[in-house]
Chains A and B, each alone.
Chain A
Amino acid sequence: MADRSYSCKLEEINRFHDGETYPAETRRIEEHLQECPECRQELTRLREISGKLRQTVKTAHKEMDFQRFEQQILTAARQHTPLRDRLKESLFSWRLAIPAAAAAILIVVFINNLFQPSLSSGPSAIIDSFTGQVKSVMILETTSKRQTVIWYSEENKAENASNPTRI
């Protein structure tokens, strides 16, 4: 026997139309539809709404050459070569970036040390200085630390002739 006390709920008819009702609901609505022309009409309208959309899309499909469209998509995709993508991805991968940066820094430091001439260490301190005429001068450099040694003989000080001052 149809449930005449069932009030027409359009939202339920919607869900029924979409197959989203629970089994008990489905049975109840099916029984109600047998007795309610308004709800049957509502269901017809819902089917009409669905049909209009599908017809609209179907007409558009007729104008489409899907084979050609497929080729167009493939051509566009081929422009992104896998090797280039992988290479690009690997270069910018953060997992490689840090060790790569560290390696680059080490290489730069190594090359810099390899080709940089050794800095000559100047004298650590001035031992002595003078103002006067110099008789003879010898400029020497130590082999190990490359320190500059200047030997000179002061003319006015005769007692220093054999006692050169080391700077």
Chain B
Amino acid sequence: MSNEIENGEWDEKKVINRLKKKEERAFVLLVRRFQARLFSIAYAMTLDSEESRDIVQEVFLKVFRSMDRFKGDARLSTWLHRITVNECLNWRRRWRIRRRSQHRPLTDESDDPAAVNLTDKENPESRLRVKEIRDRYLATLQALPEKTRAVFILKELEGMSYEQIGAALGLKRGTVASRIHNARRKLKKSLQDEPGE
């Protein structure tokens, strides 16, 4: 058995081979390396911690179950990103169905961990303003078309190139560039459209 795997060092080819043999140690390495990143993507897509955990867990289980189908023609991270985005898009479709039956506020601060942490030094007016800006930003983020949002998130959180994003989502480089531009244009408007400006 490879000492590198045992020591927790990441060698993608070796990890992939061991994952195909369903070796637990390789799976642990995979989870440790990607769980935070995939959670970030899922959270940015859903703005819901619990759903994000479910999504990420499902992503890892899918990878574990279907590792033998991974051809190795792309990086493991590209594959993981693609599965995560698809799971998030599926979640959004299910969420829309649930939303019809039960209203779920987007920015309920009582259970939203993305709530702004303000110090006691902030006066109430500032707190309110900051909260309004944040709420507008998040609402605009959630209102972005699904793939535009996914492109934007992969760029901002993963620092992927346009080409890498295109490979992950099956888009042309030019399409990635224009979608990022459109996302930022809308989000910029949400930050600029403030009272008094």
A and B associate in one complex: yes
Interface residues of A in 27-60 (CB under 8 A from B): 45-46, 48-50, 52-54, 56-57, 59-60
Cα A151 to Cα B114 with chains together (Å): 105
Given contacts A59-B114, A60-B43, A82-B22, contact A14 B180 (CB under 8 A): yes
Contact status B177-A20, CB under 8 Å? yes
Q: Which of A20, A56, A70 contacts B31 (CB 8 A)?
A: A70
Contact status B113-A60, CB under 8 Å? yes
Is B65 at the interface (CB under 8 A from chain A)? yes
Given contacts A46-B184, A53-B44, contact A70 B157 (CB under 8 A): no
Contact status A10-B161, CB under 8 Å? no
Cα A15 to Cα B184 with chains together (Å): 12
Contact status A50-B35, CB under 8 Å? no
Cα A46 to Cα B64 with chains together (Å): 38
A-B interface contact total, Cβ < 8 Å: 112
Cα A52 to Cα B157 with chains together (Å): 11
Is B188 at the interface (CB under 8 A from chain A)? yes
Contact status B35-A85, CB under 8 Å? no
Residues of chain A with a CB closer than 8 A to B47's CB: 56
Contact status B65-A80, CB under 8 Å? yes
Interface of B: prevailing SS: helix
Contact status B52-A60, CB under 8 Å? yes
Contact status B57-A72, CB under 8 Å? yes
A6 to nearest B CB, angstroms?
18
Residues of chain B with a CB closer than 8 A to A74's CB: 24, 27-28, 31
Point out which of A20, A46, A60 has the most chain B C-beta atoms below 10 A from its C-beta. Answer: A60
Contact status B191-A48, CB under 8 Å? yes
Could you give, for residues 143-166 of chain A, a 1 whenever the CB lies within 8 Å of some chain B CB and a 0 otherwise?
000000000000000000000000
Contact status A66-B177, CB under 8 Å? no
Is A1 at the interface (CB under 8 A from chain B)? no
Residue contacts A-B, CB under 8 angstroms, 27 given: A11-B177, A14-B181, A15-B177, A18-B155, A45-B191, A49-B188, A52-B187, A53-B44, A54-B157, A56-B138, A57-B114, A59-B115, A63-B113, A64-B36, A66-B35, A66-B36, A69-B35, A70-B28, A72-B53, A73-B60, A74-B24, A74-B27, A77-B24, A77-B60, A80-B64, A80-B65, A85-B65
